[in-house]
């Protein structure tokens, strides 16, 4: 037997994007649907277009990637699955620091994502979702206790992909300056930057963000936790992330 899958998008309201997956299956076939999703918390609902019934499965927490959903027994062979994003996080594909053209990915263990001298910058690659969001916030965790003065971290970005194990940097003169994070100094401190406009202008793309600075204060610069948690007092949960809703 052959069945078809239709994927489309619409909005319930201004604050949440809903992905709608509809399919028609014969009762004799396994009643399930595979969906590729971003990590986050979703509201899962099924609709029966034959009799108009709804079945609310409540909230589900999903990891990024392919997920399988099983049709409730109360729904007939015609089924529509509604997944509404309640909250989501996008985690990096790759991240690393480069120091004067040398790759510093995860070694030595003292380093994470550093921003120090002119040649000391860090890079984070994300896969942006395909649907607009009401808010997208980049979160970084400063994990260096030796920062003597406050730093302003400048975040630039563009459509770009890299391999964290071999990447040695690239020219960013044409990249978009997304924004800046002032007052970065205290150890074990989270810092947020609203990147909603940049996110919605780059839907569905692989994006690399550069962490740098325009002015260098005296003393050591900050070191942010990376996705592997290689910074000595950080862990993977304190790595970079983009929260969307």
DSSP character string of 21-60: EEEE--TTS--EEEEEE-SEEEEEEEEETTTTEEEEEEEE
Average pLDDT value over all residues in the chain = 82
> For 205-225, what is the mean pLDDT?
95
pLDDT (0 to 100) of residue 109: 54
- Which of 59-73, 79-93, 158-172 is modeled with the greatest confidence? 158-172
pLDDT surpassing 80 at residue 178? yes
Closest by Cα among 79, 84, 81 to 11: 84
Read off the pLDDT band of 33 (50, 70, 90).
low
pLDDT in tens, 84-134: 766 688 999 999 999 999 998 765 555 789 998 878 999 999 999 887 888
**Residue, of 233 and 121, whose pLDDT is higher:** 121
pLDDT surpassing 60 at residue 7? no
Judged by DSSP in three states, 222 sits in: coil
């Amino acid at each position: 037997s052959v069945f078809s899958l239709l994927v489309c998008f619409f909005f319930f309201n201004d604050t949440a994007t809903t992905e709608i997956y509809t399919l028609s299956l014969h009762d004799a076939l396994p009643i399930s649907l595979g969906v590729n999703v971003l990590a986050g918390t979703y509201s899962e609902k099924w609709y029966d277009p034959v009799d108009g019934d709804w079945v609310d499965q409540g909230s589900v927490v999903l990891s990024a990637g392919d997920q399988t959903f099983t049709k409730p027994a109360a729904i007939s062979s015609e089924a529509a699955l509604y997944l509404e994003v309640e909250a989501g996080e996008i985690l990096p594909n790759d991240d690393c620091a480069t120091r004067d053209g040398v790759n510093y990915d995860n070694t030595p263990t003292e380093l994470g994502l550093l921003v120090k001298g002119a040649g000391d910058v860090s890079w984070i690659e994300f896969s942006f979702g395909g649907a607009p969001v009401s808010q997208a916030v980049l979160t970084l965790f400063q994990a260096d206790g030796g920062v003597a003065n406050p730093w302003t971290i400048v975040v630039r970005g563009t459509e770009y992909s890299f391999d964290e194990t071999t990447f040695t940097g690239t020219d960013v003169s044409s990249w978009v300056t997304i924004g800046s994070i002032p007052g970065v100094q205290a150890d074990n401190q989270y810092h947020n930057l609203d990147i909603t406009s940049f996110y919605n202008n780059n839907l569905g793309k692989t994006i690399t963000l550069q962490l740098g600075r325009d002015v260098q204060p005296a003393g050591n610069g900050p070191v942010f936790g990376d996705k592997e948690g290689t910074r000595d007092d950080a862990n993977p949960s304190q790595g970079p992330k983009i929260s969307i809703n």
